[in-house]
Amino acid sequence: MKNEAQPFQLTLLGVSGALPARGLFPSAQALTIGNRAYLIDCGEGAQIQMQALGISPLRIHQIFISHLHGDHFYGLIGLLGSMALAGRDKPLDIFGPRALEEIIQVQLKHVGPVPFPLRFQPVDPGKHQLIYENKAIEVYTLPLIHRSPAAGFLFREKPRLRKMRPEMIAAHDIPYQVIPAIKAGADYQAADGSLIPNAALTLDPPLPRSYAYCSDTAFNENLPALVKGVDLLYHEATFCDDREDLAAMTGHSTARQAALIAQRAGVGHLVLGHYSSRYPDFSPFLAEAREVFPRTSLGMDGAVFRVPLNSAQTDPSSPEGELH
């Protein structure tokens, strides 16, 4: 069941590894939840891709940067410049390594300031903790294993209120002022003194949806517990089995290792990315990962993955059918 009014949608802006090759852009993605978009990493050219793929920078109020390798943040200053030219006045939060503020501020010092509040929010890449929340979602850091201190990000919708069954309002003559309490789980005491249990008055709300971004990282045995059961997992797959040694040496993963993380965490769907420029084509990545975890897709620039809104009282639709 798809509900376009409340999208939960990942758009891949760039899936290249450190050296861009074959026309792919470096790491950047936009996660659209409801009417907001969250930018995750901002490799060079991210704003070009946003324009091409219809992601308006005006909808972005939070940016999450995983680590200070250039392929994950060199697009930031360009994006900030364009936001300034567009006359942005709303504040922008940038979550990332502490030194990112210094890097950006030294550029702005010489170029000129942006006309909107830039709020740097340093994150501790070694900790799994809540770093941001609003009415709809929570965002947690995911400690990764990499040559530069790196954190992935876990996005999780907050539980929704229960759904009122409209026919029960009429049947029990329920006053409107008590409906918020019933949606929050309260029973209802009718005028004749009888108690009507909440389960008879409401339906289960749709389940909260979740997405985890894990790049860049070596094979990380701690990750499955942190991303257990997420609907969608993006995990880097810089190499294939043939270069497993190189993966370990450089703080990266193979496609098989990404699939092992997905399998152990029992995620809904795995998306691969951050491919090394050494590979002439990416089919071996998919084949290798699917041997371990069949519900895997190759991430490609411009690909969109939607997580449908399911009700606990309907059978979840097949992720394969909804993801594309």
Q: Which residues bind Zn ion (CB under 5 A)?
A: 69, 71, 216
Decide whether 21 or 118 has the Cβ nearer to Zn ion: 21
Residue written as token pair 């798809």: 2
Nearest residue relative to Zn ion (C-beta): 69
- Strand duo 269-273 + 296-298: pairing: parallel
- Smallest distance from the beta carbon of 250 to Zn ion, in angstroms? 9
- Strand duo 232-236 + 210-214: pairing: parallel
DSSP-assigned beta bridge partners for residue 31? 10, 38
Q: Nearest-CA neighbor of 62 among 119, 127, 114, 16?
A: 119
- Smallest distance from the beta carbon of 71 to Zn ion, in angstroms? 4
Contacts of 260 (CB under 8 A, 6+ apart): 219, 292, 293
Decide whether 71 or 157 has the Cβ nearer to Zn ion: 71
- Smallest distance from the beta carbon of 300 to Zn ion, in angstroms? 17
Decide whether 216 or 288 has the Cβ nearer to Zn ion: 216
d(CA 42, CA 139): 17
Decide whether 73 or 305 has the Cβ nearer to Zn ion: 73
CB-side exposure of 296: number of CA atoms within 13 Å? Answer: 27
Residues labelled catalytic:
71
Indicate the DSSP class of residue 17: -
- Smallest distance from the beta carbon of 17 to Zn ion, in angstroms? 6
14's tokens:
């760039």
- Smallest distance from the beta carbon of 247 to Zn ion, in angstroms? 12
216-226: string of b/e by CB count within 10 Å (b at 16+)?
Answer: bbbbbeebbeb
Decide whether 156 or 274 has the Cβ nearer to Zn ion: 274
d(CA 245, CA 253): 10
